[in-house]
Amino acid sequence: MHRRLVFAEPVSRAAIWSRRLAWFACAVLLLSLLLVRLREPSVERLAPVAGAYVLVLAALGLAVIAFIRIWQSGHRGVGKAAGAMLLSLILLAPAGYVAVRLVTRPALADVSTDIDDPPAFSRSQAALTARAGRVPPDVPAERRRLQRRAYPKAVPILLELPAEAAFDLARRAALGLGWQVLEAARPGGRSGAGRVEAVARGRLLHFSEDITIRIRPRVDGSRIDIRSASRLGSHDLGANAARVAAFADEIELLVENR
Q: Give the per-residue pLDDT at 40.
A: 66
For residues 201 and 116, membership in a common domain is answered with yes
109-146: per-residue pLDDT in tens?
899 999 889 999 988 888 888 887 888 888 888 888 88
What are the b/e assignments for 155-173, b being 16+ CB within 10 Å? eebebebebebbbbbbbeb
CA–CA dist 28, 199 (Å, integer) = 30
CA–CA dist 76, 122 (Å, integer) = 65
For residues 99 and 226, membership in a common domain is answered with no
* Count of domains observed in the chain: 2
For residues 173 and 242, membership in a common domain is answered with yes
- Point out the domain boundary residue: 104, 124, 153: 104
The neighbour count for residue 205, using CB atoms within 10 Å, is 16
CA 186-156-171 angle, 5° bins: 35
**How do the pLDDT tens digits run along the chain, 258 residues long?**
445 544 456 777 888 888 999 999 999 988 888 877 777 666 666 788 888 899 999 999 999 998 888 888 777 888 888 999 999 999 999 888 888 888 888 888 899 999 889 999 988 888 888 887 888 888 888 888 888 888 988 999 999 999 999 999 999 999 999 999 999 999 977 778 999 999 998 776 667 889 999 999 999 899 999 999 998 878 888 889 999 999 999 999 999 887
Q: Give the per-residue pLDDT at 199.
A: 92
For residues 97 and 22, membership in a common domain is answered with yes
- Domain span holding position 22: 13-104
Task: For the chain, state the CA radius of gyration.
Answer: 26
For residues 61 and 143, membership in a common domain is answered with no
